[in-house]
Amino acid sequence: MQLPAAFEELKRSWRTLAGATIGVSGGIAALVFYSFSVLTAELGTRYGWSRSQLGLAHMGYAFTLALALPVVGTIVDRRGALRIIALSIAGETMVLLALALAPAQVWLFIALQIALAAAGAATTPLGYNRVISERFDRLRGFALACIVSGNGLCALLIPIVTSRLIQAYDWRAAYVALAGIAALLGTSGLLIVRSEQPLSASADEAVEAATKTVAVSLWPLLRRPLFWHLLAGFFIGTLGTSGYVPNMVRMLGELGLPTSRAAEVLGLTGLAVLCGRLGTGLLIDKLFAPWVLVASMVATAAGLAGLAIDGTAFAVPAALLLGFTVGAELDILPYLATRYFGVENVGKVYGALYASIIAASGLSPAFIGIIADQFGSYRPALWVSVGMLIPAIVIVATLPRYARPYATSTLAA
């Protein structure tokens, strides 16, 4: 019996999907991001490193990654993804080991964080987005969501594992373990992807018919108004919301929640990010993706407004809506990059757009913190964020329809 095209895609390319999900889970976007706060808390306490010094390490990492992603994306588009990912896995592993073995000097720690961002850039979802987009069309949203869903599990597990390793041994042992996890997951995922059978001629032609575009350099793409339309919507939305995740416990404490309850709410945020990624992936394969994001952003604005009015009553729904939107943005962005600019250009376009998201995520905690410090409360910051979401919603809602439809033929196995 002939299966629907979407199920044929999954049947034909499930190894690629599984391998990419495992590989991204071992990348710097998962391991480094979710272990950083635990490790820096230990290093700051043990060696007396200041918050500003550790903040400089995070800023150096974030902005180096933002600069590296468009470059790596361009190389992936020109040379292919898998070879670049393999080199990046090796680089990530070596720098993590260097962090474990290096003298405890704050300037060296900052330098190695910068090196980690540069060396591991292709282990982020950027590396595998091109591979997934080449093999999935009708299930592309779901497939792109799956490869970042492992990050949601890492958000729950990596902080716990890192903390227990520090308690049982020390921070150096934690970095050695992270290097081992990066090598194991990264290499395993890459090998699974390589084990996938090449597309049959008919399947390849069907996907190509739906995704065929002309590969061009990044500069002509940057001159297209659509690129800046996308960037503006995602940048403003991220700047106004993502900073609440690292500030969640402190903010909810100031709004009246006990610390233990605030920590539980933060855990729900991580779960909501995972649900946002998977749920959005399924929705955007059926509905126009910008509308899905608009609905999520409207709900988040309502949740933040409720949090500003009564922090104790709206803490849980606001955290769930915020986490869902954060997850939705990271899923919808690569999907829109492929639909608007084509698979041939997804590396460079997504790299540039993802860089803006990272920059906004790096600025958002400080932006929100400055407003809170200025007024002595997080409530004014929450209202500012609600105000910022309004233009972001309008920008996303006015994105055009896709130029290229799905493949119309049933894909052969």
Domain coordinates of the chain in residue numbers?
1-212, 215-402
Whole-number Å distance between alpha carbons of 382 and 307: 8
Dihedral angle over CA of 161, 241, 301, 263, nearest 10: 30
Do residues 369 and 353 touch, judged by C-beta distance below 8 A?
no
Q: Are 179 and 101 in contact (CB under 8 A)?
A: no
Q: What does the alpha-carbon distance between residue 70 and residue 337 come to, in Å, rounded to a whole number?
A: 13
How far apart are the C-alpha atoms of 364 and 251, rounded to whole Å?
Answer: 14
- 0.75 exceeded by pTM: yes
Please tell me the CATH superfamily of domain 1-212, with its number: MFS general substrate transporter like domains (1.20.1250.20)
Cα angle 130, 128, 332; round to 5: 75
The span from the CA of 81 to the CA of 125, in Å, is: 11
Please tell me whether residue 90 adopts helix, strand or coil conformation.
helix
The counts of H helices and E strands in the chain are: 17, 0
Could you write out the DSSP letters of every residue in 207-274?
HHHHH------HHHHHTSHHHHHHHHHHHHHHHHHGGGTTTHHHHHHHTT--HHHHHHHHHHHHHHHH
The size of the chain, in residues, is 413
Do 12 and 199 meet the contact criterion of CB atoms below 8 Å apart?
yes
Q: Does domain 215-402 have CATH number 1.20.1250.20?
A: yes
Q: Decide if 332 contacts 285 (C-beta within 8 A).
A: no
Q: What is the mean pLDDT of each run of 10 residues along the chain (413 residues)?
A: 62 88 90 82 86 80 88 86 94 96 93 95 88 86 84 76 89 95 95 78 47 58 86 91 74 74 70 78 88 90 86 77 79 87 81 85 81 84 92 94 54 31
